Amino acid sequence: MNWMEKELSAMEDASLMRTLCLSSSILGCPGYTVRGERRLLNLSSNDYLGLSQHPAIIEVMREELLIEGSGAGASRHVTGNRASYGRLEEALSGWQNCEAALVFANGYMANSGVIGALVGRGDVVFSDQLNHASIVDGTILSRAELARYRHNDMEHLRTLMNKYRDKRRKLIVTDAVFSMDGDQAPLRELAHLKCEYGAMLMVDEAHSGGIYGDLGEGLCHELGVDVDIHMGTFSKSFGVYGAYVCGSRTLIRWLVNKARPLIYSTALPPSLIAGISKALELVQTEHWRRVRLREAVTLFRSSLSAAGFDVSAGDSPIVPIIIGDNDTTLRFSGALEEEGIAAVAIRPPTVPEGTARIRFSLSAVHTDKELIDAAARIRTVGLQLGVLSL
């Protein structure tokens, strides 16, 4: 096992070591986190709508826990299925205006399970270079060929689609909003290419579900783009845990029979299903959270730009500041913590080599004052570390 120590010290030297830091939440205060003895403004959470501490969600989870106990006890194909699963899936189909829906344990398992169920040897997956790791891992597991196209580059995608024209099944997969950059996929062009080449199109709405669309349906809905496989998570805007896949009745019947993470893993605890169902109601009815998030995003992006940072255009709550060098990025994050802000350093392999960054993510619960103060403190740190110049 000596090789491990060697590799770990090489990672340490390259400022690529990861350690598990402790954070705790403050009940009723979702915009903050506690590290050590300090309360920090949390600019590194995906709780975009601030639902993770919603009393109504906590209450239904508590009630269901007392009725159903702590675990489902088996997979849904055995004895873990409950009526509440079916009710949630019906509500999801209504929300997404599709024929059917299926709940998965989390987004990682949904992506890997769906891709593995749809393609195999002799098939090809066209995947954006910046897609989430679960999409890449799902493709590798499926044994289909992975054809990675340059980020959002439709000409490159077309070239690859021509190259792999004769493959049996073709699947295009993309994040709707990219998790480390906050930019959007060209969904209309992707839908067009999918028709032209007779491919299937799968979109991951992990960072856009709850945020776009009048009822939080996501970016596909907002842009009026029809996709074959629509996936999203309950761990971000919904403030809970789990994931969904929406599509045709045939797709869902296929996944129930073929998606291995669904078949070979225990069903989510009933208390979680209750919490997700309540969160789905709130995502649709508490529209003010989307409005507030949009205001917060506009204010924070313009404050950072005014402070001198290069902030890419867009309206996503994911706002990266690309620093490049791993060590400076780590020091930037450490200095922000000293200033009372939790904003973690994102380094390779999560992002491409030379593009280490601080990834800020906002929530509807952040106030204008908190965000303006934060931008001023981020500027101070930027100047101290030479990332910004006067």
Residues taking part in catalysis: 179, 207, 236
Characterize 161-177 residue by residue with b for buried, 16 or more Cβ atoms within 10 angstroms of its Cβ, and e for exposed.
beebeebeebbbbbbbb
- In single-letter form, the type of residue at position 15 comes to S
CB of 316 to ligand PMP, least distance (A): 12
Q: Give the CB-nearest residue to ligand PMP.
A: 107
CB of 135 to ligand PMP, least distance (A): 7
CB of 102 to ligand PMP, least distance (A): 14
CB of 152 to ligand PMP, least distance (A): 15
User: Toward ligand PMP, which CB reaches closer, 111 or 326?
Assistant: 111
CB of 175 to ligand PMP, least distance (A): 5
User: Toward ligand PMP, which CB reaches closer, 84 or 106?
Assistant: 106
User: Toward ligand PMP, which CB reaches closer, 362 or 381?
Assistant: 362
Binding region for ligand PMP (CB under 6 A): 106-108, 111, 132, 134, 175, 179, 204, 206-207, 233, 235, 243
Residue ranges with strand state E in the chain: 24-25, 32-35, 38-42, 100-104, 124-128, 145-149, 170-175, 200-204, 229-233, 243-247, 318-324, 341-342, 345-346, 356-361
Tell me the C-alpha to C-alpha distance, in Å, between residue 249 and each of 118, 194, 245, 298.
Answer: 15, 20, 11, 39
User: Toward ligand PMP, which CB reaches closer, 33 or 179?
Assistant: 179
CA angle 289, 244, 320 (to 5 degrees): 55
Residue 311: HSE in the Cβ half-sphere, 13 Å Cα cutoff: 24
Under DSSP, the state recorded for 168 is S
Residue ranges with strand state E in 94-188: 100-104, 124-128, 145-149, 170-175
User: Toward ligand PMP, which CB reaches closer, 76 or 379?
Assistant: 76
